[in-house]
Structures are given as C-alpha cells and as structure tokens.
Amino acid sequence: MITDSSGIIDVLAEGLAIWPVVIPLAAAALTLLLRRWPTLQRSVMEVAVAMMLVAAAVLLARTRNGEAIVMKFGGWGKPFGVTFVADMLSAMLCTAAGTVALAVAIFARADVRARRRRAGFDALFLGMLAAVNGAFLTGDLFNLYVWFELMLATALGLVTLDRRRAQIDGALRYAAMSMMGATFMLVGIGLLYGETGTLDLVHLSTTLARGEPSVTSSVAAYLLLAGLLLKAGLFPLFFWLPASYHTAPISVAAALAGLLTKVAFYACLRVFVLVFGVGAHMPVVSGMPPLFALLAAATMLVSVFAAIAQVDVRRLLAFHVVGQVAYLVMGLALASWQGSAAAIFYTVHTMLVQTGLFLGAGAIGRAGGGFDLRVLGGLIREHPRFSVLFAALALSISGVPPLSGFWAKALVIDAAFRSGTPGAAWLVVAALATGFLTLYSMSTLWTQAFWRPRARAPHAARAIPVAMVTGVALMAACTLGLGLAIEPAVRLSRAAATQLGAGVTLPNGTTSAGASGTVP
Amino acid sequence: MIAMLLATSAVASGVSLLVGRFLCRRRVGWLLGLVPAGLFLGFLALHGTIEAGQTITERLAWAPSLGVDFSLRLDGFAYLFCLLVTGVGALVVVYADAYLVERSPEDRARFLTLILFFMTAMLGTVLADNLIVLFLFWEATSVFSFLLIGFDVDSPSARRSALMALHVTAGGGLALLAAILLIGVVLGGYSLTEVVVRAPELARSPWSVAILAGVFIGAFTKSAQFPFHFWLPNAMQAPTPASAYLHSATMVKLGIYLLARFEPVVGAVPGARDALIAVAMITMLVAAFQTIRAENYKTVLAYSTVASLGILVMLVGLNGPMASVATVGFLLAHALYKATLFFCAGTVIHATGLTKLRQMGGLWRFLPVTALASALASLSMAGLPPFFGFISKEFLFEAQIQSSWDAVPMAVAVLVNAVMVGVAGVVTLRPFFMGAHRVQDVRHKEVVGLLLGPMILALLGLVISLEPTWVNRVVLLPAVMAVYGQRVDVKVALWHGVTPMLLLSAAVVGIGALLFVFWVPLHYRLRTFTRVDRYDAEHAYDALLRRVRAVARGIAERLQQQDLRSQLGVIFFAVVAFLIWALITLGRGPRFPASVGAVRVGPALLALVGLAGGIAATWARSLLAAMIATGLAGLVAALTFLVNGAPDLALTQFAVESLVVVLLTVALLALPLDAPTTRSPRARRGDAALAAGLSVILFIALLDMAAAPQQNTVSAFFGARSYLDAFGRNVVNVILVDFRGFDTLGETTVIALSAVIAWSLLGPRVSIEDGSGGARRSVFVLEFASPVFFWLLAVLSVVVLLRGHNQIGGGFVGGLMGALAFAIVALTHGVDRARKRLRFHPLTLAGVGLLLAVASGLPGLVAHGDYLRHVWIEANVFGVHVKQGTALLFDVGVYLAVLGTVLAFLFGLTREAEA
Amino acid sequence: MTVLYAFVAAGLFGCGLYMVLSRHAVRMMLGLSLLTTAVNLVLFQAGRIRTAQPPLIPEGAERLGESADPLPQALVLTAIVIGFALTVILAALVLRAWRSQRTLRSDELRSAQDLGSPLTPGPDLDH
C-alpha cells in the first residue's frame, strides 16, 4: 500500500477519470449498509456529491488543453478493454451534472424526509449519478448501454419512491418504453459488433470509415438512433417522459429533468458524430440530418403547445424539458461544428435551467400548497425573493439576454444560418416560433402563480425552507453566470465540438495494451 | 465616461430599492430623482464633444469569439435620447413619488426602482454600438415595461395588458434577433457603425429582405405601428408616470431610433421606403380614427401617440435631409408636449378619480397650474406659434415637399395633424375650461411634486422656440447630422415668411379647429361604428391566442389520453419508418450468406421449438400458460447456447429462466390468471403487421451481418492473453471480471440497486427492516426434499463461484444458484425460514457485494494506476499452490450482490403475494 | 444454420413486440422478457455460429484455439443479468399496480395521466 501523501495524490490523479463514477458507486453501496440511519445516509450522499463535483471540476481543468485523460480499466488499453476517455465534452458535462446534483442534494434536505431516505433515495440517487457520469465518460459502446440501463433502473426506483398510484402508473409506462429503447440500442450494438468486431467508440469509427457501408451498419445506426432518441425524449418517441416526470417526488423530477435526456443526447453526439461521422457525410448516415431536422422541428412545436395546455406546473415543465431537447437535436441536425458547439453549450445550459425550474416548481408547490395553476397565486407578495429567482430561470428558458438561455438559442440559430443546409431556414422559423410560445407559456405561468391573487381564500403564507430556496438560487446563479461568462463557455464548447468531430486522440496512441504491453 | 454613466445608472437603480425600503421611506422620489438628474448633468457635460460633431466610442471586451464586445457609442442622435431619457426620467421620478403617495413605501420603492432600471435599459439601448448588446437592453426595456404595466398585480386588466405588451414587443424582439444574427452572418460582425458604413453590402446580400423584415417587425412592435399598435392603448393600465415615461416619451421611440439607424439600409433596398410609408400611413389613419372614438383621457393621448409615432416612421421613410431634420425636431417636440399632457392627465385622474373625458370639466378652478401646463403643451401639440410644435410641423411639411413623394402622404399628414389639433383642444379645453358644472370638488389640491414635471416640460416647449440657438447647436444639429450622415444647417426660426409650409400649417389648424368644434357629435357618430372593433388588431390577437390554446388543448389530449399500447404502437411505427428510411438512404441491397451451411438437425429442431414457444406465448389466453411458453423460449435459448459452445451462457440462462419462473409464479399467484384478450381483432392484425415489419427488417439485417466477413482482432486478443496475462482459462469469465470488468461492475450496480427497488416497492411498508413473512404454504414433497436441495445448491453455488475463473461458472451463476437454494426453502417453508437461514438482510448482502466489487478495483489502481487491474498473489498454502487475485474478490462481490438482490425480490414478492 | 438462427431470433423478436403491444400489463411484461431472449440470440449471432467448442483454454495450452467467439458471450451474460433485473422490477411494478388499482389493463391504469391533467376539471391539491 502507498502511505505517503504524495503517492496518494498520484493515485488520485492517475485515476482522475474514474472518480466521478467510483465515488458515487462506493457511496451508494455505503448508504445501502447505512439504511437504518437516514441522517447518516444523507451525509454520505452529500459528501459524495461534493467530492464528485470537485473531481469533475479537476477533470475539466486538466482536459482544457485538449488532451483527453484516459483510464484503461484492467490495464487493457484501447480497443480491447473498456476505457474511460475524458475529453473536454465529457468533463464539461460531468461538471454540469455535478452542479445539478449539488443543487438537488441541497434542495432534498427540505424535500426528502426520512421515510423516502429509508426507501433508498440516497442509494438510488447516487447510483443514477454514477450512471450519468459513466455514460459521459465511457469510450465503449456496450459500456454506454450498461450505464443507460443503470440510469433506467435507478430512475424507476426514484420515481416510485412514495408508491403513489400515479407513480406506479408513470413508472410502468416509463419502464415499458425505455426498455424498448434499450432493446433497440442493444440490437444495434450487436449488429455493429457483428459488422466491425469491436465496441470501442474510436476503433468503431475508424473501422466503419474503412469498411464498406452495409445494411447491417445502417440498420444498426438507425436502431441506435431510435433507442437514443427515445431516451432523449424526442417526438414521437417521448411519451414516457410526460407520463412519468410529474408523478415523481419533485427532487427526483428535477434530477431526471436535468440529467437523463441530456445524457441520451450526449450519447447521440458521441455515436453519430464520432462513430458514424454525421458531420463527415458518411453514406450510412446520409439520411440522418434531415431526419434530425424534421424530428427536432416537430418536437419543438408539439411539446411547446402541449406545455401551453397544462395547468399543473410539473406537467408544464415536463413538456418544456422535451421542447428544449429538440433545440439540441437541431444543433445536431446541422451536421456542422458550429451546430455541435451550439448543441454542447445548450446542453450545459438546459441541464442547469431545467433542474432549477423543477426545483422552483417544488418550492411553488410548498408555498402554494399545490401545483395547480388554477389555484395558485399571490407568490410575489408572499415570497418576493424566491419570485425573482424563479423569474430569472423562466426568462432564461424563454431566451432573454443576458441569461444563458439567450446565448444558447442565439448560438443554435446562428449555426443554422451559417450551415448551408436547405431546411435550415425552416428550422429557424420553428425555433423562433417555439421561443415565442415558450415565452408565452412562461409569462402566463408567472402571472398566474406569482401575480394573480390566490383563487382560494388566502391561507397563512407558507414559508419556503431555506434549503429549497438555496437550491433554486444556485441554479439561477448558474444560468446568470454562464450568460455573463459566455466567452470561456463558448470557447470550451467550440473546442469540445472540434475535438469531438476530429475523434479523440489519446496521449499514447489509440492502441495501448495492458498488462503485457504490446499488441499483436 | 459614458460607460461610467451607464454603470452608475445601473448601480444606482439597484441601490434605490434598498434606499426606498429602508433608508428614506417618505419623499424618496426627491432623493432618487437626483440619480437621473445627475446623469442628465453628466451627459450635458459632454456637449462640447457632441457639438463638434464627434462621436464618443468606448469598448469593453465581452465575448470576442462571438464578435460581441460591450462597445458603446455616443453620437448626436444617441445624445438627444440620453438627454430625453435622463431629463424626463428625473421629472418622472419626482412626479411618481407624489402620484403614488397613498401606496406603501415598499410599493413606491418598487415602482421607482423599476423606473430607474428601465432608464438604465433605455440608456444602454441607445448607447450600444454592438447590436447584440443593443438587443440585450432592448429586451430589458420590454421586460421592465411588462413589470410596470402590470404594477397593479391585483387588477386582471393590468395583468392582461402587461402580458399583451410583453408578447407583442418580445415577439418582435425575436424577429429583430434573427435579423441581427443574419447581419452577423453577412457582415461578420455586429457593429452598428459597420451596418451604416457597409449598408450597400447588406442590401446586396441574399438575406437583405429578411434582415429588413426582422428590423421592421422589431421596430413596429416597439413603436406601436399597425398592426401591432394595439398594445399601447392597453398599456395605459400602467400608473400614469410610467405611461408618461415609457409609453409616450421614451420607450416607444426606440423603434424610430432603430429605423433611423438603419435608414441607409432602408434607402438601399428597393421598396423598403414604400413599405415604411405605407405602414406609417395606415397607422396614422387608424390611430386618428380611434383617437376620435376614444373616451378615456389616457386612451385619447395613447392613440394620438400612436399617430405621432406613425408620423415619425413616415419621416424616416421619406428621403432628403429635411426628413432627418423633421424626425429629430418632431421627436423632441412630441416628447416634451406628450409627456406634459400625460402628467396633467395623471394629476386630473388622481385628483378626481374620473377616467372618462366627458365626465370632466372646469378643473382650472382646482388645478390652475396643471391647467396652464396642459394649455401650453396643447398649443405646442396643435402646432401654433410660438411653440416648438409649430416649428417641428414646419419641418415636417418641408420634408414632405422636398422628398420625391406624391400628394397622398401629404394629404394623410395634413389630416392627421388636424386631428392632433383637435385632440390638443379636447384634452385641455374640455377637462379644464369647459363644462364647469361637471366636477364640483377634487380629492386634493396640487402639490409641488405633481407640478414640477409638467411645468418644466411645457415651458421648455416655449423656451426652445423662442431661444433656439443653444438647443439647435447642442442637440438638433448633431442629432440630424448623426441621422443624415452629413451636416445639414437647420434654420430654427418661427418666421420664414409666407411659405407653402406656413399655408399647410394654417390649413391644418383650420381643419383642426373645425374638428374640435364638431368633436362631440363626430365622436358619438364614430362610436356607432361598432363593427370595426371586430376587425381591429386587438381582436385578431385575442383570436390568435384562443386558437393557440385550442390547438394546445387538442395536442395535449392526443398526447395524454392514449394508453400505453397506442403510445408503444406509435413508437414502433416510428422505428419501422426510421429503418425503412435507413434502407432507402443507404441505396444498396443486403448481402446474403454464400452458403446456407450444414444444417444440424437436433439444434435446428430445438430452435424451431423455441420459436413455437414464442408463438404459443402470443396465443395463450391464460397468463400462466403464456409465462410457461415464454420460459420455454428462454430454455431453448439456453440449450442453443449450450450446443453452440457457450456453456456459461447456457448455465446462466438456465438459472435466470428458472428464477424468473419462480419469481413470476409468486407474483402471478396474486393476480387473476385468466386474462381475456384486450385487443380487437383489427387491432391485433395491425400490431401483428407492425411486429412483422420490424422482425423482417431485423431478419434481413442478421442475414447481411452473417454474410459480412468476421473481424475478430479483439476477441482474438482475448483468446491470446486470457491465460498468459489474466491467468484464467475460461475466457468468457476473464472477459467478465478482467477485460471488460467495468461492464460487470456497472451491471452489478444495476443488480444491487434493484434490490433497493424491490424492498421499497414490495411488501407492507411499516419500515424497511420489516420482515413480516406470511403464513407459509407447505408443499409436502418439496418439504422433505428441500434441505437436500438447499445444501446441494448452496455448496454448488460456491464451487461454481470459485472455479469460475478457469472453468465454466463465475459470480453470476454462483449467485443465482445460491438464490435458487433459498428460493426452495422459501417456497416450501415460507419466507421467514428462508430469512432465518440467510441471517443477513438481503440489502446488506447487496451492499457488501457492491462495496467489494468497487473496492476490488482499487489495489490495481494503487499498484499500476489502472482501476480494476487485478493484482495476483501466488502462495503455497499447505503445499497447495494457490494463485488468487483481486479478480476473486470481484467475483465474490458479484456473487453477494446477485444473491442479495434475487432474495430481496423473492422475499418481497412473497410477502406481497401473501399480504 | 445461420439463416435458421437468424429466422428464429427475428421471429422471437416479432412475437415479443406483438406481446408488448398487448393492453394487459403481464402480457406486456412477458413480451419484454421474450424480447430479451431474442436480443440475446442476436448478440450471440454477432460472434457468428461456427463451432460447438466453448472458449475454454485447455490445460497445458496457453492460448485459445478454435472456439466460439467469447466476447459476444460475455456481452450476452451481462445482458441476461440486466434483463433479468429489469424484468423483475417490472414484475414488482405490475404487482403494485394490481394491488393499488385492481386492474392490469393499460387503458384503465390512468391515475398518472389524470394527475394534474388539464382535461380533468377541478383543482387538485396533492402535496
């Protein structure tokens, strides 16, 4: 064993890429053993989340120079063993996920009581975080699938934490559809292996680029597309999301809204840009950009309309989660590096803001005694400070400068204008229309829940616990900060996008074998 | 300097809230009024530079890689706005303090803070040189206008009007944003100066029309041009100080500002001027019409403002230097007299509590000074000498005569100006000097706060025209130069001799006088045309929103009311569509295996039996039968693995299938087993077709894959290294625990955590530690056999675990077997016995297992820097050569996790079934 | 043989899909486990079906001789276990649903879609 501190530092540094996954995993196991002591569970979870965030931040700092940090599990290098490849994109998203997790953990102090913790909230939450980071970091297709399954399982557990009827119903739909998605993914992976004999993302891309386009690879590609877009919540595969999110405990809903669909989109970036080379006009995926464009436009409009019809804050926000993902896919549809860069920035932005909005919904529910906009009201008088925070988030998602939401929209639209793709103009029209309707929906929510006096006889104003406000405030601060510090953020996104498109170059060559050194 | 001023404004606005709430709760307006007043002086101090016709530019880096820097630019035109915004701002703050006297100090502080923030946004908009920064402040003005209109949050109409204003202006903002981004695409930058310099380039670009359209929509929405004008009269729900400031003097002029800035581009794009003038004329006529119909004091003023904005848009549309002169002159004149009139209206409404003009009269007795101010402003508005309004109107007509335009705009201008004259008469004479009997008393007398603003502005309207040289030199000339691009000498004088302009003015005044005389009958006559209300833009807006909500509801119904089946159906349909699209776009057919290959009869039959099982499962009416059929397919799969060189898979699949059967049986015991079909024959056919479609495509893909040359560098590597480097003879197991151990770790987590889910979902929920097993069902035959089975399986499972690395077996199979052992006990002697036998809580097992698996990776990390790289120890224990490593630790972890989880489910389901 | 196995796998896949589309929750669940089986067969075929020789390195030998492709087997093993976990979770959910609502028809399990639905009149206050 190494004892002197420097050695430990080395070990920590060596394994930098794994800590965002291994820390929550270990913590999850620990909370399983501590299940008799909810408060202990909570502390373990909180510490783990904090450490995870730090690890991710360090990772980001280390990868900024454009060099990917690689962890060869078992010492078998690419393409034989499973590897983690932490490049800028992964590091960025891990950091964002860590921030989201932190906000949720703080909020949960007031929202998740002992009963829910005994039911396993902490273990499942940590498991989900591990899965999210794993998906962000892994350089192996099948490994990606494993993390998705872990995400699904933990999400199901989290949604049904209270065993309410609605939760069970929602979880059933969630489970059924997501398992179908996983099935499609897995078949795609199988076919891909049958064609190329490898699972390593980089090796896959090189092998596919070398090989002839074939039915197998194209069917595989589109099955993966179906699976990933389903999990990303894109129309018409998105039914599971609005069917379940509004039933979950609000902390859970916030975490899901901020993390899951974005992970799926990230996977789309990796698989279709890196492996199949959507940007590089590979024949296998030649049909994808138009498909992406079509689905993105449809999703934007459908979801925002559906959101406008809602009277329950959680449902309303759930549909906006769907709508925002469509903007990411729009970036992907442009098949240009500007498009990817915009999508990457948008992903970070929407992770933070969606979580913030759902946490805000939780606070609204606590203060207003419900989520029904037909009943809510008067919050601006009772909770002026919280109102300002929520307003910031609402304005951000509506794309009002200088909040991050504005830059996100502007970048995507700008990329659309710059990409010569024929349908781009229509995409922009859809995006602008959706932006307007989003503003409409959010401003209506605002006047109903905050301005309008209560419909019911005003009960004594209920206080919003500090923890809740803090969680919302953290996210609001993030969206403002991201908007003001746009320069570094955009630089990072662009660098990440170019790195993604170029394929990851490893410090010591893509094929470095493990225990015995060289490869035959 | 200007950046400093802007920053000061922002900071002061932020501080003002605290000041108003805590520091000085009464008369706060006088204190806060110092902020805009100070800024006003600050800008005034710059007059030297502006006079010299120079522009001050300052640049702070913000986002260079996006071409967005915080660059400010103060030229004559912006200067005019800055003086207006800060000067009027100061008066508004003072006025508002007196106006909101009954409100709570908090409300007052809130209002004044919003006003100051709005002022900051205005300054930012007119100072910004970078279009993105301009847009930032532009949107900010919309938001603050929203908050100010809806200031009385309890009033539904205020909320409605606020929303309306926000939707219209912010919607226009989106169009503007698109235009700005396109400019960035064309020019490669967002500098407003660049736009002016490289206007021809913009005009030539394919995007020119789109760009101008965006700019126009942005400007029209902000400056209330037809068909977006309707939000402005509704915005009168705002407290009057806000109306005076935002909705007459400053914000609504931003559209004009933008258009004037883009004037070079407008000029360069054919048809653009026509568009502007056409829209302007429609706006003017509609507004004039509505002004005469309006009843409320503020509404009359609002519509006359719309008309004036129309005039300004028209002036931007006209060409020639005088157009710029007139724009600047009219902009200033209008700001002065209209703000005054709003102030007076506010005072009247505040003092009388009345809103309709016809209810008012003879107020000069109670509000003499206000009456005077109103009179001065009206005279200026009517364009009578010696007021500044007269001069600006002269400019207006001169511009029209100069410009290469036919008589139509001229006629419209004359008419509309005549209406202005009428309005001027109506809004002063009727409330203050006529119908003295209508109002007998007022709530309060005039106070200084309410008088300062109107008097100063009204007098300015007189002073400027009597002593024009200074204003002309400092404000007008530089502004005109900034708009027109070169120096224009403006002769600001009351008397140019008898000119066509003078005659036109005379005509206007004459018609206006007539209008005033016949105002009341005309008013009532026009009010009878109720039909027009059905066609006006506001109704269109409401109809649009209704439509949107209807569509939304329809979509929501279609999305939410479907049951799981139809949703899955949609998904499958989409997937089929994707795959067909894939094959179409691929544009090449599948490959087929060269030869079918030798058919082995046994395995072939076996496989077909499996398929038959699957088909049977779809037909089975009883769930039990369906389950058994499904299980059959699973077992066949296991055998297929066995006969094709995958004993590990076979073993695992066997164990899994039997466990699934056990667990599902337990679950099904609680359910009704007979499940009649839930689908109509038609639906079944549809589903069958969908399923068939997908499986056919899969079949084709599988054939194509089989025909492809196999690439197995990776697995070859495993075969070569498995024993030498990973010290395992069972390659599959080595892959699981070593080569791809990390997959296994993830999967172990899935397993371990589903134990949690089992425990939280299943069984009565007294507490998570509760272990109430139900009454045990005894199955005699098994009862005797069970101990035997138990120990047999238990021992076997451990053996399988230990030898896993070299022969068939491993953690999973071991764990599953162990679970089976306990399953038998549970089934025969009930859960309690099984749990006693287990001693540990299943979740504990799962947790320990996961912890072991995770920890087993660390030694490798410490020793070699690779997580999950297994460390091996060789030793001779009692002469037996043992070689074991962390791989075993890992496998044990998996074993425990699997065991714990399966048991968690078993116990949970049993308790649930027996509960 | 390959063709046959491809046919069987695809066929089972189809059966699974067909069952998943049933309105009865248990049938849907069984359909999903059938799909898992089918997918495992697909994965297995990804390594081609050439020999019945298991990928075990015989005593004395150091390298794997001619045998079935071990990697897909490992993948299938993982997939089997994950599929197992999810199937059982699904079973637990189904049981829960039956307990709380006494129905397993997906068109009657409506409490999620009715929770805070704009289409059901009247304010609901669950919190």
pLDDT in tens, B754-787: 999 988 888 665 443 444 444 444 455 556 667 7
Which residue of C lies nearest to A216 if distances are taken between CA atoms? Answer: C46
Cross-strand pairs, B56: B74
CA of A300 to nearest chain B CA: how many angstroms apart? 13
Which residue of B lies nearest to A168 if distances are taken between CA atoms? Answer: B761
Question: Residue type for B138, please?
Answer: W
Which residue of C lies nearest to B725 if distances are taken between CA atoms? Answer: C62
Nearest to B419 by CA among B119, B411, B191, B536: B411
* Chain B residues in contact with A432 (beta carbon < 8 A): 174-175, 177-178
* Chain B residues in contact with A414 (beta carbon < 8 A): 181, 184-185
DSSP state of B730: B
End-to-end CA distance of chain B: 79
Q: Which range scores top for mean pLDDT: A80-84, B458-462, C113-117? A: B458-462
* Chain C residues in contact with A244 (beta carbon < 8 A): 112
Nearest to B669 by CA among B591, B588, B779: B779
Residue-by-residue DSSP string for B185-207: HHHSS-BHHHHHHTHHHHHHSTT
Per-residue pLDDT, A512:
28
Q: Find out whether B747 and C78 touch, Cβ atoms under 8 Å.
A: yes
Nearest to C73 by CA among C89, C94, C51: C51
Q: CA torsion angle for B556, B558, B561, B564 (degrees, to 10)?
A: -120
pTM of the model as a whole: 0.94
Which of residues A114 and B878 earns the better pLDDT score? A114
Give the integer Cα–Cα distance in Å for A432 and A428.
6
pLDDT band at C124 (very low <50, low <70, confident <90, very high): very low
* Chain B residues in contact with A310 (beta carbon < 8 A): 556
Q: Find out whether A207 and B711 touch, Cβ atoms under 8 Å.
A: yes
Which residue of A lies nearest to C113 if distances are taken between CA atoms? Answer: A243
CA of A73 to nearest chain B CA: how many angstroms apart? 5
* Chain C residues in contact with A183 (beta carbon < 8 A): 32, 35-36, 39
Q: Do C123 and A310 touch (CB under 8 A)?
A: no
Residue-by-residue DSSP string for chain C: -HHHHHHHHHHHHHHHHHHHTSSBHHHHHHHHHHHHHHHHHHHHHHT----S--SB--TT--S--S---HHHHHHHHHHHHHHHHHHHHHHHHHHHHHHHHS--BTTT--HHHHTT-TTS-S-----
Q: How many residues does chain B have?
A: 915
Chain A neighbors (3+ CB pairs < 8 Å)? B, C
Q: CA torsion angle for A305, A309, A311, A314 (degrees, to 10)?
A: -30
* Chain C residues in contact with B627 (beta carbon < 8 A): 26, 30
B880 sits in which H/E element: strand B880-885
Which residue of B lies nearest to A175 if distances are taken between CA atoms? Answer: B564
Question: Residue type for A46, please?
Answer: E
Comparing CB atoms, the residue among C16, C26, C45 nearest residue B706 is C45
Instruction: Among A168, A178, A185, A204, pick the best mutation site for testing chain C contact (most C Cβ within 10 A).
Output: A168
Q: Do B653 and C6 touch (CB under 8 A)?
A: no
Cross-strand pairs, B883: B874
| Residue-wise pLDDT tens digits, A301-336 | 999 999 999 999 999 999 999 999 999 999 999 988
Q: Which residues of B126-135 are buried (b: 16+ CB within 10 A; e: fewer)?
A: bbbbbbbbbb
Q: Is A264 left (phi over 0), alpha (psi -120 to 50) or beta?
A: alpha
Nearest to B616 by CA among C40, C35, C41, C19: C19
Enumerate residues 44 to 103 of chain C having a beta carbon within 8 A of any beta carbon in chain A.
45-48, 71-72, 75, 78-79, 82, 85-86, 89-90, 93-94, 96-97, 100-101
CA of C97 to nearest chain B CA: how many angstroms apart? 10
Comparing CB atoms, the residue among C10, C27, C93 nearest residue B761 is C93
Q: How many residues does chain A have?
A: 520
ipTM surpassing 0.90: yes
Q: Find out whether B155 and B237 touch, Cβ atoms under 8 Å.
A: yes
Comparing CB atoms, the residue among B560, B607, B719 nearest residue C4 is B607
B532 sits in which H/E element: helix B531-535
Cβ pairs bridging A and C (under 8 Å): 136
CA of B891 to nearest chain A CA: how many angstroms apart? 14
Comparing CB atoms, the residue among B660, B670, B702 nearest residue C6 is B702
Low-confidence ranges of chain B (pLDDT < 70): 24-25, 404-405, 596, 763-785, 804-809, 879-882, 914-915
Cβ pairs bridging A and B (under 8 Å): 374
For residue A79, cis peptide bond before it (omega within 30 degrees of 0)? yes
CA of B10 to nearest chain A CA: how many angstroms apart? 15
Does A361 score more than 80 pLDDT? Answer: yes
Does A85 score more than 60 pLDDT? Answer: yes
DSSP state of A378: -
Per-residue pLDDT, B782:
57
Give the integer Cα–Cα distance in Å for B132 and B670.
65
Per-residue pLDDT, B128:
96
Which residue of A lies nearest to C17 if distances are taken between CA atoms? Answer: A180
Q: Find out whether B70 and B130 touch, Cβ atoms under 8 Å.
A: yes
Residue-by-residue DSSP string for A18-84: GHHHHHHHHHHHHHHHTTT-HHHHHHHHHHHHHHHHHHHHHHHHHHTTSPPEEEEGGG--TTTS-EE
Q: CB-based contact (8 Å) between C15 and chain A?
A: no
* Chain C residues in contact with B749 (beta carbon < 8 A): none
| Residue-wise pLDDT tens digits, A253-275 | 999 999 999 999 999 999 998 89
Tokens of A210: 């070398």
Q: CB-based contact (8 Å) between C113 and chain A?
A: yes
Per-residue pLDDT, A181:
96
Per-residue pLDDT, B436:
82
Give the integer Cα–Cα distance in Å for A371 and B336.
48
Which of residues A232 and B857 earns the better pLDDT score? A232
Q: CA torsion angle for B749, A233, A472, C111 (degrees, to 10)?
A: -90
Give the integer Cα–Cα distance in Å for A473 and B198.
44
Residue-by-residue DSSP string for A268-336: HIIIIIIIS-TTTT-GGGTTHHHHHHHHHHHHHHHHHHHHHH--BHHHHHHHHHHHHHHHHHHHHHTTS
| Residue-wise pLDDT tens digits, B693-745 | 999 999 999 999 999 888 888 888 888 888 888 888 888 888 888 889 899 99
Residue B408, judged by CB atoms within 10 A of its CB (0-12, 13-18, 19+), counts as exposed
Tokens of A377: 């009201």
Mean pLDDT in residue range A192-207: 92
For chain A, the average pLDDT equals 90
CA of C34 to nearest chain B CA: how many angstroms apart? 6
DSSP state of A419: S
Q: How far is CA C94 from CA B242, C97, C108, in A?
A: 60, 5, 13
Q: Do A165 and C86 touch (CB under 8 A)?
A: no
Q: How far is CA C103 from CA B227, B310, B736, B908, C99, in A?
A: 56, 66, 41, 21, 8
Q: Find out whether B62 and A486 touch, Cβ atoms under 8 Å.
A: yes
Other Cβ atoms within 10 Å of B59 Cβ, number: 14
Tokens of B573: 């349909």
Q: Do C44 and B692 touch (CB under 8 A)?
A: no
Lowest mean pLDDT among A85-94, A150-159, A164-173, B883-892: B883-892
End-to-end CA distance of chain C: 60
Beta strands A83-86 and B880-885: pairing type?
unpaired
Mean pLDDT in residue range A352-379: 93
CA quadruple C69, C72, C77, C80: dihedral sign? negative
Cβ pairs bridging B and C (under 8 Å): 313
